[in-house]
């Protein structure tokens, strides 16, 4: 099993290096910017290559017989229709391969479910059709909705590069800190999905779900609602900006001060 796994990784990495410039990555799952998203990507590639190898063997045998065992070549058909050993073999071998897939998958899954030592807690609420982010234990809370102008959607204006994946208020988080997200919904089901972070979970009204992430690289990551939620389901993107820890501290302090300032004025 280890041999196969190593071989797969070898082929995968070789192929990636060779074709990285040919836009291969545009066709594939993003490797992402967290340790777990990298593991998920490796799992994805591992299973893909196992499937490719099985496919080559099975289809290879099939095409061989399509070309060699055709009536026009004057062959007489064999009459065998049973072979206990063969049938036993191709029940057991796939089973073993499956175990080889299940072990790394379960390991990654256990890591995904570990939310301990989270330092920042953010509550995400889905609405038809926008997101609300609340930084728990602070008073920072805001809504985040699509900022693409209608004229672009209705083709009256040229579409910008971030068409349908830009928002008015980005979710700002620090890198290298464990962030725990608590998800719920105000109305119907939504799902919060950012491919680069390998995070996707349903937001369910009346219930909370959780997930956590440590982002390794600063940057802007874009995602979308992934559960049909009505008319504007396709128009509620997610934009998350990962910044250095200092920058985050500065930002959260400033936002807190701003909000409490506004609150004082209102009173």
At closest approach, how far in Å is the CB of 21 from other proteins?
17
Is residue 31 close enough to count as binding other proteins by CB under 8 A? no
The yes or no reply on residue 39 touching other proteins (CB under 8 A) is: yes
The count of C-alpha atoms lying within 13 angstroms of the C-alpha of 262, restricted to the half-sphere facing its C-beta, is 7
Q: How is residue 22 annotated by DSSP?
A: G
Burial 57-66 (b: 16+ CB within 10 A, else e): eeeeeeeeee
In this structure, how many other beta carbons lie within 10 angstroms of the beta carbon of residue 242? Answer: 26
Residue 125: other Cβ atoms inside 10 A: 22
Task: Say whether residue 137 binds other proteins (CB under 8 A).
Answer: yes
Alpha-carbon distances, residue 115 vs 34, 47, 185 (angstroms): 14, 26, 21
Return the residue of 4, 16, 153, 259 that touches other proteins, per CB under 8 A: 153
Restricted to residues 208-267, the positions that interact with other proteins (CB under 8 A) are 208-210, 223-235
Of all helices (H) and strands (E), which one includes residue 241?
Answer: strand 238-243
In whole angstroms, how close is the CB of 94 to other proteins at the nearest point? 5
For other proteins, the binding residue among 7, 98, 254, 263 (CB under 8 A) is: 98
Residues that contact other proteins, how many (by CB under 8 A): 105
Which residue matches tokens 């030592």? Answer: 117
The yes or no reply on residue 179 touching other proteins (CB under 8 A) is: no
Residue among 216 and 246 whose Cβ is closer to other proteins: 216
Nearer to other proteins, 2 or 154 (CB): 154
Tokens 């900022």 belong to: 147
- Side-chain half-sphere CA neighbours of 252 within 13 A: 21
Min. distance of Cβ 178 from other proteins in angstroms? 11
- Does the footprint of other proteins cover residue 22 (CB under 8 A)? no
Task: Between 2 and 80, name the residue whose CB sits nearer to other proteins.
Answer: 80
Q: CB 213 → other proteins: shortest distance, Å?
A: 12
């Amino acid at each position: 099993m280890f041999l196969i796994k190593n071989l797969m990784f070898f082929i995968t990495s070789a192929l990636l290096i060779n074709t990285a410039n040919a836009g291969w990555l545009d066709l594939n799952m993003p490797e992402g910017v967290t340790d777990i998203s990298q593991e998920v990507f490796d799992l994805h590639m591992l299973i893909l290559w196992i499937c490719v190898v099985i496919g080559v063997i099975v289809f290879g045998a099939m095409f061989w017989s399509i070309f060699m065992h055709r009536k026009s070549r004057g062959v007489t058909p064999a009459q065998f229709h049973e072979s206990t050993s063969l049938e036993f073999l191709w029940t057991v071998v796939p089973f073993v391969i499956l175990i080889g897939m299940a072990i790394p998958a379960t390991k990654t899954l256990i890591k995904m479910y570990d939310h301990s030592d989270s330092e920042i807690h953010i509550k995400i609420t889905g609405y038809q059709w926008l997101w609300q982010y609340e930084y728990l234990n602070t008073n920072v809370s805001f809504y985040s909705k699509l900022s693409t102008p209608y004229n672009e959607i209705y083709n009256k204006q040229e579409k910008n590069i971030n068409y349908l994946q830009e928002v008015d208020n980005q979710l700002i988080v620090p890198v290298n800190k464990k962030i725990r997200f608590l998800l719920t919904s105000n109305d119907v089901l939504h799902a919060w999905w950012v491919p680069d972070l390998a995070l996707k979970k349903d937001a369910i009204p009346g219930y909370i779900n959780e997930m956590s992430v440590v982002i390794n690289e600063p940057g802007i990551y874009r995602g979308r609602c992934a559960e049909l939620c009505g008319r504007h389901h396709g128009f509620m993107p997610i934009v998350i900006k990962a910044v250095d820890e200092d920058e985050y501290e500065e930002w959260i302090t400033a936002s807190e001060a701003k909000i409490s300032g506004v609150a004082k004025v209102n009173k």
